Structure 1
Amino acid sequence: MAAPLDLDQLNTFIAIADTGSFTRAAEEVHRTQSAVSMQMRRLEERIGKPLFEKDGRTNRLTEEGERLLLYARQLLRLNRETLAAFDDASLEGHIRIGMPDDYAERFLPEIMARFSRSNPRVELSVLCEPTPNLVHHVRNGNLDIALLTDDDVSEVVRREPLLWVGSTNHSTHEREILPMAFGRPTCSWRRAACEALSEINREYRVLFTSFSATVITAAVLSGVAVSVLPECALRPGMRVLGEHEGFPPLPDCRIGILRGRTSQTEVAEALARHITESLDNITVPLATEEAEGFDFATLSHRMRRGKRLRPSQVLPGW
C-alpha cells in the first residue's frame, strides 16, 4: 500500500506556490530554507514528478505542480475541517455576511457548506443586495463582511472576464437598436457596457433595470434583451457574444471581500478564509462538449491557467 502524503510537506508546498519563493515560504512555515528544500525534494520523490521550475529568480510550478496544488489545498482544508469538527473549543457566535444575489447563487452553497462544517456553533446571517448597498451596510456596522464587486477598497479574491450575453434561441444581439438589461445606474458592469457601446457608436436602449440577477437572467433567456455578466453568472441557454459579432472586450470583473468592524474578529477571519478558499475551489463550467472527459482537477487547472469561454460558445447545461 502506498504511503500517504505528508500534510506538513503539502503545507510548505502551498506556501511556496503562494509566495513564489522558497525563502519567503520558509519564513511563513517557520523553517530554514534548507529544511524547506529537503521537504520539496521528498515530496517530488513521493509524487514521482518535478513540481517546480526556475523562472528567473522565482520558482514557478510545473504543470504537475499546478495539478498537485489543487489537491493539496483540498487536503489541507479537509484536515482543518476534521479537526474543527472534534474541537470542543471551536468558534461560537453570530456573523453577518452580505453579497449580491448573482454571487450568492453561484458561490454561497460552497461557502456555507465549508464554513458550517468547520464552525458548527456559528450562526450565519446572509443579506443579498447590490454592491453599493453592501458597502453602506459594512461601513455602518450592519454587516461584518461582504463579498462584492470590487470598489477599490476591498481585498480582491477572484477575477473573471465580464461577458456580453444573449439567448441561445434568439438573435436579439442583431437588432439595429440593441435592447439591454442592466443593474441600476450605479452598477459598474452597466457603466462599462455603456461606455464600450458608445465608443463603437452602437445604438442601444435600456429596457430593463434591476439589481436582481433573476430579473436580468430572465430578460436574457427570454430573448428580449442582451446583458453583461461575469463568467460565474452564466446560465444554460445563454450565448457568449464576441468581437466578431460586434461586441468589444470588457474589463475583468474583480470580486472582493470588504471587512467591517466587528467584535467577532476570529469568526470574521475564519469566514474570510473560507470565502477565499471556496472561490479558489470553484470552477466555471465549460460547454458540455468541451468538458467531456475531464475530471475536476483538470477543469480547475485549465481555469486557473486562464482558460476562458470562446465567444458564441453555447452553454446547454451542466
Structure 2
Amino acid sequence: MAAPLDLDQLQTFVMIADTGSFTRAAERVHRTQSAVSMQMRRLEERIGKHLFEKDGRGNRLTDEGERLLSYARRMIHLSRETLAAFDDRQLEGTVRIGTPDDYADRFLPEIMARFARSNPRVELTVTCEPTPGLVEQLRRGNLDIALVTHDAIASQSELVRREPLLWVSSATHPTHEEEVLPMAFGRPTCIWRRSACDVLDAMNREYRILFTSWSATVIAAAVLSGLAISVLPECALRPGMRVLGEADGFGPLPDCKIGIMRGHTASPEIVEAVARHISESLDNISMRASEENGPFDLAALNGIRTRRPKPNLVAPGW
C-alpha cells in the first residue's frame, strides 16, 4: 500500500504557490530556504513528477504542479474542517458579513456552507450592498467583514480573487448593434461603470446610460430583456447573456478584483475564521472550475475562454 502524502509538504507547496516565492514561503512556514527546497524534492519524489520548471532566474509550476495544487488545497481544507468539527473550543457568537449582490449568488452558498460546518455555534448576519456602502458600514462599525470590489486607491482590502470583467448583452437581441448604445450600470461610484465609460470614450463610441441601479438583479433584467448592455464579472454571468468582445467592437476591460475588508470588532477570532473560509471557498470554486474546464476558465457563456498565467516562483538556489 502506498504511503500517504505528507500534509506539511503540501502546505509548504501551497504556500509557495500563494506567495510566488520559495523565500517568502519559507518565512511563512517558519523553515529555512534549504528545508523548503528539501521538502519540495521529497514531494516530487513521492508524486513521481516534476512540480517546478526553470523560468529565467526563478521557477514556475509545471502542468503537473498545477494539477497537484488543486488536490493539495482540497486536502488541507478537509484537514482543517475535520479538526474544527472535533474542537470542543468551537467559536460562538455572531458575525456580520457584507457583500455586493453580484457576488452573493455565486460565492455565498459555498462560503456559508463551509463556515457553518466548521462553526455551527456562530450566527451569520448577511447584508447585501454595493461596495461603497459596505465600506461605510464597516467604518461605522455595522459590519465585521465584507467581500468587496477591490480598489487599492479608494479603500484598502486584501485581494483574494481576480476574474475577467466582461461586456454583456442579450443573446437573443441585437442591442450591441444600435448606433447609440443603451447602457445599464451601477451607481456613478461603481468602479466597473467608470471603467466601461473610459473604454467607450476612448473608442469614441456613442452611448447613453439608460438604467442605473445598485441591484445586480435589475442590471441583469435590463440586459436579458435586450434593453441595454452592461459590464459584469465572470461570476455574475447568467444564461441568456452574450459576451461581447473585440470582434463586436468592444475593447478590453480591466479585471474585476475581489477583496476582503475587516471592520473593528470585538470578535477578531470569528472574523479571522470567516476571512479564512472566504479565501478557501473562493479557491475551491476556482479549483472546481479548473477541473471541469481543464487548464482554462470559462470567461463567457458563448465559448470565450481565458488562460490564467502561471505564477513565477522565485527560488534562489533551487
Please, what TM-score do these two structures have when normalized by structure 2? Answer: 0.88
Which string of whole-angstrom CA distances, capped at 9 and with x for unpartnered residues, describes residues 74-131 of structure 1? 1100100011001010211111110001100111011111111121111111000111
**Residue equivalent to 1:293:** none
Q: Secondary structure at the match of 2:296?
A: helix
Structure 1 portions without partners, runs of 5+: 287-295
In 2, Cα distance between equivalents of 1:159 and 1:187: 17
> Which AA in structure 2 matches 1:198?
D
In 2, Cα distance between equivalents of 1:214 and 1:61: 39
The answer as to whether partners of 1:283 and 1:299 remain within 8 angstroms in 2 is no
**Residue equivalent to 1:291:** none
CA apart distance, 1:43:
1.5
In 2, Cα distance between equivalents of 1:301 and 1:117: 30
CA apart distance, 1:45:
1.8
In 1, Cα distance between equivalents of 2:46 and 2:253: 44
> Which AA in structure 1 matches 2:296?
R
Which string of whole-angstrom CA distances, capped at 9 and with x for unpartnered residues, describes residues 12-65 of structure 1? 211222233334333322334443333222221221111112334433211101
In 2, Cα distance between equivalents of 1:285 and 1:193: 30
Say if 1:218 and 1:97 are closer, same or farther in 2 by CA, change over 3 A: same
> Which AA in structure 2 matches 1:163?
L
Matches for 1:242-257 after TM superposition, within 5 Å = 242-257=245-260
1:297 maps to which of 291, 301, 304: 291
**Residue equivalent to 2:73:** 73
> Which AA in structure 2 matches 1:48?
G
2:166 maps to which of 152, 156, 163: 163
The answer as to whether partners of 1:176 and 1:203 remain within 8 angstroms in 2 is yes
Matches for 1:101-180 after TM superposition, within 5 Å = 101-152=101-152, 153-180=156-183
In 2, Cα distance between equivalents of 1:162 and 1:58: 30
> Which AA in structure 2 matches 1:210?
S
Say if 1:285 and 1:116 are closer, same or farther in 2 by CA, change over 3 A: closer
In 2, Cα distance between equivalents of 1:206 and 1:282: 33
> Which AA in structure 1 matches 2:193?
R
Say if 1:33 and 1:197 are closer, same or farther in 2 by CA, change over 3 A: closer
Say if 1:18 and 1:57 are closer, same or farther in 2 by CA, change over 3 A: farther
In 2, Cα distance between equivalents of 1:154 and 1:24: 21
Question: How many pairs align?
Answer: 302
**Residue equivalent to 1:239:** 242
How much is the aligned-residue C-alpha RMSD, in angstroms?
2.2
> Which AA in structure 2 matches 1:259?
R
CA apart distance, 1:186:
1.5
In 2, Cα distance between equivalents of 1:155 and 1:240: 29
Say if 1:79 and 1:300 are closer, same or farther in 2 by CA, change over 3 A: farther
The answer as to whether partners of 2:15 and 2:28 remain within 8 angstroms in 1 is yes
Which string of whole-angstrom CA distances, capped at 9 and with x for unpartnered residues, describes residues 239-258 of structure 1? 11011211111121111111
In 2, Cα distance between equivalents of 1:13 and 1:118: 24
Higher relative contact order (CA 8 A, sep 6+): 2
In 2, Cα distance between equivalents of 1:220 and 1:313: 19
In 2, Cα distance between equivalents of 1:261 and 1:190: 30
* Correspondence 1:42 to 2:36: no
Between the two proteins, what is the percent identity of the paired residues? 73
In 1, Cα distance between equivalents of 2:24 and 2:127: 38
* Correspondence 1:224 to 2:227: yes
* Correspondence 1:212 to 2:206: no
**Residue equivalent to 1:188:** 191
In 1, Cα distance between equivalents of 2:238 and 2:135: 27
CA apart distance, 1:284:
9.8
CA apart distance, 1:301:
4.1
> Which AA in structure 2 matches 1:42?
R
**Residue equivalent to 2:311:** none
Say if 1:40 and 1:82 are closer, same or farther in 2 by CA, change over 3 A: same
The answer as to whether partners of 2:237 and 2:300 remain within 8 angstroms in 1 is no
Matches for 1:239-318 after TM superposition, within 5 Å = 239-283=242-286, 297=291, 299=293, 301-303=295-297, 308-309=299-300, 313=303
